[in-house]
Structure formats: structure tokens, C-alpha cells
Structure 1
Amino acid sequence: MTAQPQGSRRQFLQGLAAAGTASVLLPSANRAFGYQSANDRPVFATIGLRNQGWAITSKSFRFADFAALADVDANVLGENVAKVEKGQGKKPDAYGDYRKILDRKDIDAVMIATPDHWHTKIAVEAMKAGKDVYCEKPLTLTIAEGKLIEKVVKETGRVFQVGTMQRTESNHRFLLAIALIRAGRIGTVKKVTCGIDHMESSPVIPEAAVPTGLDWDTWLGPAPKVPYRALPEVRKGYGGGVPLYSNCHYAFRNWHEYSGGKLTDWGAHHVDIACWALGATETGPSKITPVDYKLPVEYKNGNPVVDDQYNAATRFNIRVAMPKNVEMIITSEGDNGILFEGTEGRFFVNRGKVTGKPAEQLKDNPLPEGAIEAVYGGKVSANHTANFIESMKSRQQPISDVWSHNRMLEICHLANIAMRLGRELNWNPANREIVGDAEANSFLARENRKGFEINM
């Protein structure tokens, strides 16, 4: 695909800024994007195509042209090339090696939806190659990775959006929740509980033949080299069509080598909204206490002693001391969502509802005009990609920026470290270090496997 004139792309982005952010007030505004010339649209590529990779790509057809796709699984790659060709009317180029995408001068931005342990390497190298970046949540595998991404965003001036879509989508219920708090509808916030579900342990998962088409060594990438493991039973529903129990597709979320279990998978959504509501997006906790929890395998010195079963915590109640004497609870119990409790009331919010007296009172006592838009910092966008492309035009960071994301994700990472070590952690949010615990601090970073270092 040849490079398009930058001037015409800028004109498209300016049009998007005017139309996309008004979509909550004028839903039909998005139809205007269909009238844009194909030559005027920004050029994207997606790296990592299962599940969320396809979801964020298909949501973006009306805003951008996809020139290329990359995945280490040839079956996934081929299937998604066909779907993208059908969706946009033009076949994208296909690569097993994402670096070929970064070498191309015609691609303006990359969307990254690989397993978590690959996010930082690809994102940093993409920014160094002059690409703006959209990366799925959770953004990082470690706290040190978050600091590195922040450094490179600052150095390169690239626009970077994290895929925490609750900040823009889910019918804006979470924006409403924050507006209620800012309007004082529950008085002073004293406690916030983030319900993020539990996960199940696994049986012993034996070594198995690597599926045809999967480049297993590259899938592992920065993580330690280990055998592929899987049981025959197939996963159904979301993420289906792959082994229910494995150390690869979808199930990677349950292994600390590649992700952080429910703490980072769902915590990256609800802890994010909680921190935003508390005004704690530029700071962090002072103490993380694992009140009770269950690890599915035995641990020694913070590391699992077996390598053939899921190892992320299955159940947990974590107490977090937040600024202004607010208590945060992160729990695998109860309803998935966020409960805010203050001196004058309480309410609950998730993707399907906002319940409690403060919400019921809105009928007779509505929020001031513009209160929800004020949370967002302007008119509200109903599409995460629209906000990303608007930011590409303005060269301002989007609503889901790396700094606020990393601050809240540090809470999730620290909760996992506390459970792995079986003790309370004291955190210095200014220095972003664990206080007086050298062993715990050693878990803030991980060394990439040789041959998969980050190319700076």
C-alpha cells in the first residue's frame, strides 16, 4: 500500500474531531465517516488478532484503512485477513513477523492485541518507528514496563491510547458514576469496592504437540522458553475454539509468565474507573494488604513450584490504602462492578446498570448540564477509536492515557506481588517503589528472554 498525502489525512482527522466527539449528542454523526475518501483516511495495522484484536479492528473500519495484519499463528492470521478484506473491501498484507509492519512508512498507527507479555516490546519499538499506538489492556506485565513506555511516549511524542474502553463506551454509565461523585451526591467518598470476579484453577496440563501453524517460540517471545501445554477439551463462548486448559491462546491470562490473572484482566477496567473517580490518576496507594486469597499452586519465594497448572490467584480480598483515607477493596466476591460508599450515600455501577438512591434521585434532581462531558474533558465520544484518531490529529494524549493507566495498574501488580509473597506491602507512590522490602522490589521488573530484548 502506498503512502497517502499527509495533508489529506490531516483534513480527515480534523473532520473526525468535529464529528466523532459529538456522537453522544448526535448518534448519526458517525455516518459522515462513510463519505470520506479512502485516500484521506489514516492507515492502520493490527498486531495480534485473536478476540480483542479482531474486535478493535472491526470497530475501526469506519475510521481507518487497515493495510496490514500480523500474528504468530498462521491460522488466526489467515482467518482475519479474510474477515478484514470482507469488512473493508480491500485485502490487507499479512505478516508472521510484526517488525515488517514497523518498517513500513505508509502505516500511521498500530493496534496491539497480543498477549500481555508482548505489549511493551512491540509498543516501544512501534513508537521508535514513528507509529502512534493503540494497545489493549492490561498494558504491561510489570511496573518497570509501564515506566519505560511513559519514557518513550515522552521522548517520541507519539500518541498512545490504552484499550480501557469503559472510559468511553458501556453507554457512559461509568462517566455518569464519576459525575455523581464529583457533584457530591454521596458526600465524601470513604470506601470503594471493585468486584472483578474469581477464576477457576486448572487440572495438571501435560505437554502437547504445538498446533499446526503456531510459531510457539515466537509466541513465548520475551517470556521463558517452556513446552507447549494443553488438554483436549475445547473452550466455548468468548475466546472459544482453543483448548480450555493450556498455556497459550486465551488461557495465558491465568499464568504470571504472560499476564496477571483477574487482578490485571478485570482490574484494569474497574480499578481504573475507581481511581479516576477518586482523583487518584497521578498518585497511588500507600499500603496493599492481602486480607485473604487463594493461590492454585504452592509458591516459594514468590514463585510457583510447579509449571503445569494455572498459577494466578483464583480468589482474593485485597485492601488498598488510597489517598485521603479512602479504603479500596479489590475482591473476587459479589457482583462484577464498583460500589462507591460515601458519608451521604452509596451506589453501584457496572456495564449494565447504575443502582442506588443517588441514581434514583436523578429523575427529580438531575446533574448540572455538561457534568458528564466535564468528566471526559469535552464532548463525549461513543467510540474508543474515534477518540484515538482525534488525539492523533491534535497530538494530545487520549482519554485512556498511559500515565493514568499505569498508576492504577500498579495497584493490580502490587496486589499480585503481595499475594505471591504472602505479606503486606508499603508503597511509595512518589518514587514508585516498595518500601523496605528488597525481595518484593525485585518483582517490579523482569528480564526479557535472550533474542527478545526491546530494541531501543
Structure 2
Amino acid sequence: MPTHSRRRFLSQSSQLLAGASLASLPATSTLAASYAVAANEKIKVALIGCRNMGWANLNSMLKMPEVECVALCDVDDTVLNERAAELEKKIGKKAKLYKDFRKLLENKEIQAVIIGTPDHWHCLQTIYACEAGKDVYVEKPLANSIEECLLMVAAARKYNRVVQVGQWQRSAPHFNEAMQHATSGKIGKIRTVKTWAYMGYGKTSPVLPDEPVPAGVDYKMWLGPAPERPFNRNRFHGSFRYFWDYAGGLMTDWGVHMIDMGLKGMKVTTPKSVQAMGGKLGFPDHADETPDTLQAVYEFDGFTLLWEQAKGIARGPYDREHGVAFIGNLGTVVVDRGKWEVFPEVENGAYLTEMVPVRNNTMNNLDQHTKNFVECIKSRQKPNGDIEFGAHAAINAQLGNMAYRLGRKIFWDSSKNSIVDDSKAMEMAKATYHNGWNLPKV
């Protein structure tokens, strides 16, 4: 990467940082409203990407009587028609159907959109939705590159939109209780935060031949800004996340969730440096490009944060498939989606901190997260999973993957929001668009 290009990227990053302010902001900060929602007014939402989490998010929102779904969009006719029939049965009327999200965004009736598309689409669709005056609930990870993350924050602020990222642990009371206990001083100085996802799935992923595009699928639109490639089922529904063109494997699937909780608990945003190692160690013959095994070490002032991942293994640290552990001198607080507890250190037969029995999660945290989004549409408050927090988590995940792929430590300058003196890493941090799509300007 030429010196002038590196300087331009650093300059752009710094300008975006100044405009978007990626420093943590209180969740009570108020956004300007381009419209007001009366207490008895229906909030009309639309879903872009109807297959998995997008559909789950919509169904969660529809539990609230003030939410009405008026439109669905998907590039796969089979998925779109099935979801349309399910929605009509659920709400008693038909929604408008689209295969091109740009046409949906022209619909002025729509006040908010849910984006449940593959990662490589999040940036374009979120920014275009903000430009169109829609509030946005976007699935995690926020984006597939660091440059996109910065642009998305800038767009949300420029257009005064409420943007909630689907990192729904931020709306989970038991996660907050665990983090409050961990940082209260009761477990002493926290020297390490361990985050992980050991997933029992993914034991089979055979290499498959390319094939014709399935009937009813607008594959050109599915690819969008990703590189042109023949259709292959391994790269399509669900399993797209294990190919670099579209996503970042377990790191960007689960890592953004758990690393996000480590960042929130320790009140930090981005690291000083990252190093990582791993590979396709469990299943070297799989079609996946992303590693099935990975460890990444993040350096912060006064502590380290560790990320561990494994496909095909379900028993992770503390016998949990996923979680966050705040490890202090006097004990360790461990929390996952189901519960939290304390493991005291023992000295001379005595606990060094109080033994806290298991505290179970009794709530539906996705419902709490979507409810928070809807409440913020009305109040214009920043939501629990505000776009800045989504950017922090995604930047950490992207840096971890980049350190693995480059095979070296990467240094990060939080004051400039940029990588330090590494031309290849700087290039990887940028978004590269194809097929006539261009990175939005903010």
C-alpha cells in the first residue's frame, strides 16, 4: 500500500472518529428526532433478510402491540414467500414484498428496518436506511471491515438515527449483575478477562462443487459488493459466515457477543495490540476458509483479554460452550447466557472472596433488547446496543482475525482509530467493493 494511501486512510479514519466519536457514550444521550411517535401510534417496521436471526428479531418485536410489520425483503423467493405466509397468518394481513432493499427503503410508510442479511451487506443497507430516515436494528457483527464500522457510526450520527446492534447481552440483567459484581472490588484486581465460544456444531463441511443458481434466488443481489464467484451452497445460507468474502467465522459470529461483554465490564473500547494463532486444526479438509480453532490476546492497560474458539467441541472453559470470565486476584466471575456465579480463590483452606451460588437468567434477553430498541424509537434515547458499542466489538473481532491471517501482532492507536505502521493490515482494514457497488459516502 503506497504511503499516500496509508496517510489517506489514517486521515479518513481520524476524520470519521472526530465526527462519529467512538468513545463510549452514556445510553441516556438523546438523539434528534425527525418524527415523533405518539403513545398510541403504530411503529411500522420492515425486515430485510428473512431467514434466521432477522426473522427471530421481527417475531420478538411483534410481541409489542405498538409494532406492525408492513414489508419483507429477501433475495430468495422461497424464503420470502414462506415468511410472507407465516407473517400473514400471524398478523392477519399481507405485507408488501421486495427483492431489492433499495425499493423497500423508498417506502415512506416504514419507520424502522431490521437488517438480518449476511455481514458483507450490513454497511450499505444500514447507511442507506439512515439516509432514508429509518431507524435500524442491525444484526451483529456491525460490519465486515473496520472502515465500514467507522462509516456506519458516522452515518447514524449524521442522520440522527437510532441504531441498535443485535448484541443482546447488553440488555440482559444477569450479565449486568455479573459485571457489577466483578468490578466491585470483591474479586480483587482483574488481571485477565477470558471470552470464548466452543461450539459442538460444524463437524462436517465437505467441499462441494459449484452449481447453477437455485430457482428464485437473485444471486447477483446476494453477492452485492462481494467478489464475483460461481454459486456454491457452502457459501450461501448460514454457512456463508465461514468465508472471508462475507464474514469472519466464529470470531465475528460469537466473538462480538462475548468480547463485547468483556469490553463493557472493563469499561474499555479498543485494544493497544492484538496477536492471534490457530487454524483449521480440527477439520483441515473442510470447505471453510475461517479457522476452526483460534486464540487471540488483546492488550489493554492493566489487563489482557483472551478470545478462544473451537468448532466441533462443545465443552469449553468452566464447562460452558460460551462465556466470559473476569479473573481477579481473589476470585473469578463467570457468566454466560444462562447464568453467572463466582469461583473464589482458596488460601489456607479459606475462601478469599464470598461464594456466590449460581444466579440463573430467567428472562428472554432478545425480547428485552428489541423492546429497548422500540422504546428508543419513541424516546430518541441511545439504545443499549448503540452502534458505537457494535463498532467497538466488531473492530476488536476484525483485528483478531487480521492478526491471525497476517501471523503477527497488530498495534492499534485508539486516539486516531487506526492501525499503527502496518501497510498490509491497513489494507485489510479497508472495504473493497465489487460488481458496481461503491462504499457509501458520509
Q: Is the shorter-chain TM-score for this pair beyond 0.5, marking a shared fold?
A: yes
Distance across 2 between alignment mates of 1:454 and 1:444:
13
Asked if 1:345 is matched to 2:373, the reply is no
- Answering whether residue 426 of structure 2 is matched by residue 448 of structure 1, we say no
Question: Aligned letter for 2:198?
Answer: D
Following superposition of structure 1 onto structure 2, how do residues 425-436 of structure 1 map, counting pairs within 5 Å? Answer: 425-436=410-421
Letter aligned with residue 249 of structure 1: H
| Separation in 2, partners of 1:455, 1:103 | 17
Residues 162 and 381 (structure 1 numbering): CA distance in 2 closer, same or farther, change over 3 Å? closer
- The change in CA–CA distance for 1:104 and 1:296 in structure 2 (over 3 A counts) is farther
Give the equivalent residue in structure 1 for 2:59.
Answer: 58
Q: CA deviation at 1:313?
A: 1.3
Residue 326 of structure 1: aligned partner: 303
Letter aligned with residue 307 of structure 2: I
Paired position in structure 1 for 2:247: 259
> Which amino acid in 2 is paired with 1:390?
E
Describe the shift of the 1:202–1:422 C-alpha distance in structure 2 as closer, same or farther (beyond 3 A).
farther
State yes or no: 1:110 paired with 2:113: yes
Mapping of 1:171-182 within 5 angstroms? 172-182=173-183
In structure 2, which of residues 374, 377, 389 is the aligned counterpart of residue 392 of structure 1? Answer: 377
Report the equivalent of 1:72.
75
Q: Secondary structure at the match of 2:403?
A: helix
Relative to structure 1, is the Cα distance of residues 446 and 455 closer, same or farther in structure 2, using a 3 angstrom cutoff? closer
Q: Secondary structure at the match of 2:399?
A: helix
Deviation (angstroms), 1:68:
0.4
Residues 125 and 454 of structure 1 are in contact (CA less than 8 Å); yes or no, is this contact kept in structure 2? no
Match of 2:185 in 1: 184
Residues 142 and 201 of structure 1: CA distance in aligned 2, closer, same or farther (over 3 Å): farther
Secondary structure of 2:226 counterpart: coil
Alignment deviations for residues 93-139 of structure 1 (CA, whole Å, 9 cap, x no partner): 11111111110111100000000100110000000001011101111
Partners of 1:351 and 1:62 in 2: CA distance: 21
Count of aligned pairs: 380
Change (3 A) 1:455 1:422: closer
Aligned-partner residue type, residue 318 of structure 1: A
* Partner in structure 2 of residue 286 of structure 1: 272
SS in 2 for 1:356: strand
Kept in 1, the 8 Å contact 2:46–2:70? The answer is yes
User: What is the distance in 1 between the residues matched to 2:308 and 2:82?
Assistant: 37
Q: Aligned-pair distance for 1:390?
A: 1.2
What does residue 43 of structure 2 align with? 42
* Contact 1:49–1:77 (Cα < 8 Å) also in 2: yes
Gaps of 5+ in 1: 1-5, 13-39, 231-245, 298-305, 367-371, 373-379
Code of the residue aligned with 1:80 in structure 2: it is R
Cα displacement string for residues 182-217 of structure 1 (whole angstroms, at most 9, x for unaligned residues):
322212211111112265574322111211111111
Structure 2 match to 1:275: 263
Q: Residue 194 of structure 1 aligns to a residue in which SS?
A: strand
CA contact (8 A) 1:340 1:347 kept: yes
Mapped contact 2:130–2:155 kept (Cα < 8 A) = yes
Q: Gaps (5+ residues) in structure 2?
A: 1-34, 311-315, 345-352
Distance 2:418 2:367 in 1: 37
Give identity over the alignment, percent: 34
Q: Counterpart of 1:175 in 2: which secondary structure? A: helix
Q: Is the 8 A contact 1:316 1:331 kept in 2?
A: yes
Secondary structure of the 1:59 match is helix
Provide the alpha-carbon RMSD of the alignment: 2.5
Q: CA deviation at 1:173?
A: 2.3
Q: What is the CA distance between 1:56 and its match in structure 2?
A: 0.6
Could you state the TM-score of these two structures normalised by the residue count of structure 1? Answer: 0.79
Q: Secondary structure at the match of 2:39?
A: helix
> Is this contact kept in 2: 1:296–1:310, CA < 8 A?
no
- Alpha-carbon distance in 2 for matches of 1:181, 1:384: 23
d(CA) in 2 for partners of 1:347, 1:455: 42
Matched ranges for 1:73-152 at <5 A: 73-152=76-155
Counterpart check, 1:166 vs 2:144? no
| Structure 1 position 360, deviation (Å) | 7.0
Checking the alignment, whether the CA contact within 8 Å between 1:296 and 1:312 is kept in structure 2 is: no
User: How many angstroms apart in 2 are the aligned matches of 1:114 and 1:79?
Assistant: 17
TM-score by length of structure 2 reads 0.81
1:296 positional shift: 7.1
Q: SS where residue 411 of structure 2 aligns?
A: strand
Structure 1 residues 201, 278: closer, same or farther in 2, change over 3 A?
farther
